[in-house]
Amino acid sequence: MKNATNRIKITTPSRLHFSLIDLNGKLGRIDGGFGLAINKPYFQIIAEPSSEIIVESHTYQERTTETVKKFQQSYPFPGIKLKIVNEIPNHSGFGSGTQLSLAIAAAVNSLYKLDLSLLELANAVGRGGTSGIGVAAFENGGFIVDGGHQYPEQKASFLPSAAVGDIAPPPILARYTFPSWPLLIVIPNCLKIYGEAELELFRTLCPQPESVAPQLCHLLLLKILPAVLEADICSFGAALNSIQNFGWKKVEIDAQGIELQQTLRFLQCNGALGAGVSSWGPAICAISHDINLLKQKTENYLSTLPNGGTCFITYANNRGVEIEKVD
């Protein structure tokens, strides 16, 4: 192993996952999906070499330590000191697990000059077993479409990454620079679906009907991708609204319950050209011709909910992770 370098700062995007495409598998592939890297929220981590594992974090102390140890099993190194100075909310639809795991692996890779590829890093920390959006968002940002996994040869179940073991991320079919539209991210303080609850939904509601994937593919190929390339915000918003009404996305929304459903409807009826739940939520992304007015209305609306919520404006991230040396 080569000598370690000095301290580095790693800043990740987060990702929005708009939909899985095929949870039926009749064509011999499952999963597939499309999503977007965004600037905020983000992880920012200060990392430096150490003879032991030292983690400073408000939320992710245990998970970070586990990830470092998992990475050590594949690529032994002495240790690392990680200070997480900014965090992505967990179990909220932003892909925090993938961004954190890859940031840790990238820190070790950089500090100890392991010269590993992103695929090798993702495999070592067990990310990408369902969706490739988070891994690709980390690498290059942008709007991303992935091609899923061969079924059952590469992946024999419909379960998410955390439950399927070591499965490589799927191939990336397309990556485009996303327009500079302001995005309103809305997070009602409501149910968070993860762990055993998430697994049970996959177990009981998959496979999905065969008709879902063709409908999603039609929207993706002839509405969403042209809208991204032509910067057509109205068409993109209309497609985003359509996605919420069928397939696995409807499963995710139905599972979340009334507060998320009402928040989604509020956005769609109060100036949003389109609004869509990211992954299981509760994060929702909305676009509008007047994002500041929509934000003001949404803040007022969230204050009426039993447990409130937050919202903020961000933009697409078209760069991916940033790694720089610090003094």
- Please give the chain's pLDDT, 327 residues, in tens: 445 558 999 999 999 999 999 999 999 999 999 999 999 999 999 999 999 999 999 999 999 999 999 999 999 999 999 999 999 999 999 999 999 999 999 999 999 999 999 999 998 998 877 788 999 999 999 999 999 999 999 999 998 766 776 788 899 999 999 999 999 999 999 989 999 999 999 999 999 999 999 999 999 999 999 999 999 999 999 999 999 999 999 999 999 999 999 999 999 999 999 999 999 999 999 999 999 999 999 999 999 999 999 999 999 999 999 999 998
pLDDT of residue 1: 47
Contact predicate 325/7, CB 8 Å:
yes
Contact predicate 288/299, CB 8 Å:
no
pLDDT of residue 127: 85
Query: What is the residue type of 40?
Result: K
- Find the helix packing angle between 133-140 and 96-111, rounded to 10°: 50
- Residue 1: exposed, middle, or buried by beta-carbon count in 10 A (0-12, 13-18, 19+)? exposed
Distance CA 38, CA 316 (A): 4
Query: What is the residue type of 5?
Result: T
Distances (CA, A) of 109 to 82, 192, 319: 14, 32, 19
* pTM exceeding the 0.85 threshold for the entire prediction: yes
pLDDT of residue 4: 54
pLDDT of residue 169: 85
Query: What is the residue type of 304?
Result: T
Distance CA 72, CA 124 (A): 9
